[in-house]
Amino acid sequence: EAAAAAEERLASLDWEQELDVLAVAAEAGAWREGPAAVEPARYVVGHGLDAWWWSLCARWRGLAGLSDAKRHRVRIAAKKMRYLTELTAGLWDGSARREAATAGFKAMQDHLGELQDYVAAVEVIRAHGFRAVGADPAAVTAAMARAVATREKLEQAGPYWR
């Protein structure tokens, strides 16, 4: 269902228009005229990554105790951070730290995705009037433990762009 929604979105006129706006901004955006225009790309991108990094760090504090909705927002933020690190990879070619960070953000996204799948399954079962039985609490606990361990590794490594 999610894949079908993504395919529909990518084929939509709205998506094409968003890409057009992005292309115009990249070619002729105000950022090319302002003070950032004279700065090296790594400097400018580094500041942007800082903002995303600190926002993510604030969101994932107390990860194991977050509500399902807040934890899902952490997953989305980790996914965005992963995409940003992939998009700007050329600025840090061959950086083992960047590659490890990108892999870490993907792992965080995957571990939290496991938890979100569980939450969604329970919601569907309950919406149809059934009790959610047979869930494997050990699997849920293990996925959370992996997410927390990944967060700790990412925080310990710190921003690779600094």
- What digits encode the pLDDT tens for the residues 149-160? 999 999 999 999
Q: Is 46 a residue whose pLDDT tops 80? A: yes
% pLDDT > 70, the chain:
90
Report CA-CA distances (Å) from 34 to 30, 31, 88: 7, 5, 21
Alpha-carbon span 67 to 96, nearest angstrom: 34
Q: Is 36 a residue whose pLDDT tops 80? A: no
Q: pTM for this one?
A: 0.73
Q: Is 31 a residue whose pLDDT tops 70? A: no
DSSP state of 12: S
- Cβ neighbourhood burial of 152 (10 Å; 0-12, 13-18, 19+): exposed
Region of poorest pLDDT, from 9-13, 66-70, 80-84, 141-145: 9-13
Taking the alpha carbons of 35, 161, 150, 156 in that order, is the dihedral positive or negative? Answer: negative
Confidence of residue 136 (pLDDT cuts 50, 70, 90): confident
Please tell me the predicted confidence (pLDDT) of residue 38. Answer: 65
Q: Is 32 a residue whose pLDDT tops 70? A: no
Q: Is 145 a residue whose pLDDT tops 70? A: yes
Taking the alpha carbons of 55, 52, 144, 133 in that order, is the dihedral positive or negative? Answer: positive
pLDDT, mean of residues 81-102: 88
Report CA-CA distances (Å) from 135 to 4, 29, 35, 131, 140: 27, 51, 55, 10, 9
Mark residue 36 as left, alpha or beta (left: phi above 0; alpha: psi -120 to 50; beta: remaining).
alpha
Alpha-carbon span 8 to 160, nearest angstrom: 35
